[in-house]
Structure 1
């Protein structure tokens, strides 16, 4: 008989083993890790199981998950039933259960482990998606029910945890609206149990800590969203805050109404990990607005396969500005009848091309261009090791952005502020 005060928000979670997958996301100090460790201990006291606790880096276990288990064992006075072994790092139960600690930085060691019926991935957003799928394959037992628990603080919506458990725009896969989870707190969807928590759910937390989290709102809204509210979103500063998604019919209607539209097409090459990306766009030079109305986005395609799928552009003799780093591909497409030339690339061109795009008052993207939306709508700047923003590095490698860069290679987007100053500047010739 064990008596233990727990946070009411986690009471049902502690004893729920109905679903195979359990995904816990929340803010700092919500006690999701504590209650997960307690949940696993209670389970292994009742059933003889082998559990695996995983983090991306093995060395981080000692001061986090392993120390947490040790604290709970001491707190519940379970030293007679559970023994902590520091080398190799394990918890051994009197009934034959055991908990092993592994890191994904040495996945080879996972292959020798058998009959794993319970896996806890702590800070799962730090684990690579391939590692997560590898762990699913390690979850197997001939008799016992199987369970995988994932705990994490929310990060950007580009992280695999969001794309796997909520929605993946690229694969057009929808599982659950994350805002529904924030509203309800607990949701069961298929064979997955979802749980959301914040610092307010931890009744044992000092009020001074919550006050400290609240202060983040004033100087770091991104961290406030993650740490205090425990919600997914855009991490960092958006590169194109003027980017808007618009229905395709409205995009075409607006382009038709432009007095002197400038049509441009750009192409970025890719094959294995990268993508062949082709973007067709229109510029309203008077209103300084950009319209993206067509995209092509595929990888693992040879040049001849791509040329066949883009034959329409060759038939129209549409000028395509392409990545100059692939002269062989450009020559191939030219021989196939495409009007393709190399775009200019020079030291600092990434930054200059990005600044050119940022000068548009509005960037409207057709809702049919899903890959462009996925890459650009929430694109943020990357930071260097000192935490300083890099204006020509981004959170992902956006292939559609490269295609847009090349498309606008010969377009000079005049700075609006400079243009305004030119209009109000006195005519020096007239004053002579």
Structure 2
């Protein structure tokens, strides 16, 4: 019996299916809200892919092994059933493995809580062509995922890796920031239940979704539409990730360079950027970001990049390192800091129209700006102070733009200085005085 895919796959996945057919990408990031059927789609593609390629095997992962049986395992059993190919597959009751009977190809299931079992995996026939990370946001980060991929993506010509997840609420969560980063072999797709045949979901699903939409629209947007609504603790909402070309860099005139020292534990962070004062846009296009780097090695790098030996603005808390770099011939100065320099530096960066970062040239800088978030206290409230961790590139940028931040600070201070009121503030005070403290501004003519 021939199955028409449109009868079992939502139309929102048609382009992804066609891309898979032409081997368009290696990594497929499928995000979505409840009922988006992304996991159903992946399960169907895995079954079809293994039956089509006699060398293909698959490994399906979740963070915790105990969650495999009643999620991805049952999802693949469903796919086998809905495709009408049960007679070709062996599905044991107890063991977490599904076998394609004609060739012995396998789908294996693993929890990332036991990484050694992933590293030692071998197949009797073929190689691990397909990898599926279900509930990707449960994993600790991209480093963990990369280590698993490095272990499994061996011995074959073509690999396909699926990542399925409901986007976490925080825009700074590693999953949400990772998908923004530039990678040509990655396809990013988002879906929600609105593109799915309502009969597949059932009447009660629709009722629950509509009730939440009416009573808690933000929760509905996150849970059912799968949108990143934010927690309110995100520090930078003005970051744009995109390539900055060599031709574009050639047009930059206001180049700034910053340096944050580090060695044993914290990385040394050096960066180069262009600040467009008129448009209030910052372009960051070069970084050096490394732990255990000596000042001499840093100088050797900066000397090659900074051919004209233009001024570098560094952390004044490291006078010894600044002196050493000067001895090598580098023009470097420690920036003026104060008790509120961090606050005003970050607020200045927040005030910009856009902070544009080339994540290929500056991956660590991009990661810091995308994931920097206020911390919460024991009661779940956001702390007022900006956190002093994972901010080495951010500090470097603050130092490079310290003069601009000081101007920003003085302007803010002047606007709210009671001894130096603006004309608008003087007018408001006059109205209050004339009306006994109750301003009736509309009764007076503004000057």
The TM-score, its normalising length taken from structure 2, stands at: 0.62
- Aligned counterpart, 1:129: 142
CA offset digits 1:375-394 (Å, max 9, x no partner): 68756524548764344457
Aligned residue number for residue 194 of structure 2: 200
1:36 to 42, 50, 59: 42
Q: How many residues align?
A: 384
Which one has the bigger strand percentage?
1
Task: Give the CA deviation at 1:122.
Answer: 1.8
1:120 aligns with 2:98: no
- 1:113-192 equivalences in 2 (<5 Å): 113-115=121-123, 116-124=128-136, 126-127=138-139, 128-130=141-143, 131-132=145-146, 134-135=148-149, 137-140=151-154, 146-154=159-167, 156=171, 159=174, 167-168=181-182, 175=184
Q: What is the CA-CA distance between 1:276 and the residue it aligns to?
A: 1.9
1:402 aligned residue (395, 408, 431): 395
Deviation, 1:273, is 7.3
Which residue of structure 2 lines up, in the alignment, with residue 53 of structure 1? Answer: 60
Q: For residues 375 and 51 of structure 1, what CA distance do their matches in structure 2 show?
A: 31
Q: Distance in 2 between matches of 1:398 and 1:230?
A: 29
Q: Report 1:13-412 matches (<5 A).
A: 17-19=21-23, 21=26, 23-28=28-33, 29-42=35-48, 44=50, 50-69=57-76, 78=86, 81-86=89-94, 88-92=95-99, 94-95=101-102, 96-115=104-123, 116-124=128-136, 126-127=138-139, 128-130=141-143, 131-132=145-146, 134-135=148-149, 137-140=151-154, 146-154=159-167, 156=171, 159=174, 167-168=181-182, 175=184, 195-203=189-197, 204-205=200-201, 206-211=205-210, 214=213, 218-219=217-218, 224=221, 227-230=223-226, 237-240=233-236, 266-270=258-262, 274-278=267-271, 297-300=287-290, 301-310=293-302, 318=311, 320-322=313-315, 324=317, 326=318, 328-336=320-328, 338=331, 340-341=333-334, 353-355=342-344, 357-358=346-347, 362-363=351-352, 371=362, 374=366, 381-384=373-376, 388-392=381-385, 397-406=390-399, 408=402, 411=406
Q: What CA distance in whole angstroms lies between the structure 1 residues aligned with 2:81 and 2:214?
A: 34
Do 2:118 and 2:151's aligned partners in 1 also have CA atoms closer than 8 Å?
A: no
Tell me, yes or no, if the aligned pair for 2:369 and 2:394 is still in contact at 8 Å.
no
Does 1:418 find its partner at 2:428? no
Is the CA contact 2:256–2:274 (under 8 Å) kept in the aligned structure 1?
yes
Q: Deviations over 1:29-65 (max 9, x none)?
A: 2111023224434555677654210123333324422
> How far 1:6 sits from its partner (Å)?
1.6
Partner-residue secondary structure (3-state), 1:419: coil
Shift of 1:368: 8.7
Q: 1:417 to 1:100 in 2, by over 3 A?
A: same
Separation in structure 2 between the aligned mates of residue 281 and residue 80 of structure 1, nearest angstrom: 61
CA distance in 2, matches of 1:283, 1:43: 50
**1:102-149 CA deviation, whole Å, 9 max, x = no partner?**
12333221122113233222234554434336425524567x975433
Question: What are the superposed Cα offsets for residues 1-50 of structure 1, whole Å, 9 maximum, x if unpaired?
Answer: 48695244257867965427362523212111023224434555677654
Structure 2 residue runs of 5 or longer lacking an equivalent are 431-447
2:172 and 2:234 in contact (8 A); partners too: no
* TM-score relative to the length of structure 1: 0.64
Q: 1:317 to 1:100 in 2, by over 3 A?
A: closer
Is there any run of 5+ residues in structure 1 with no aligned partner, and where?
176-189, 256-262, 428-432
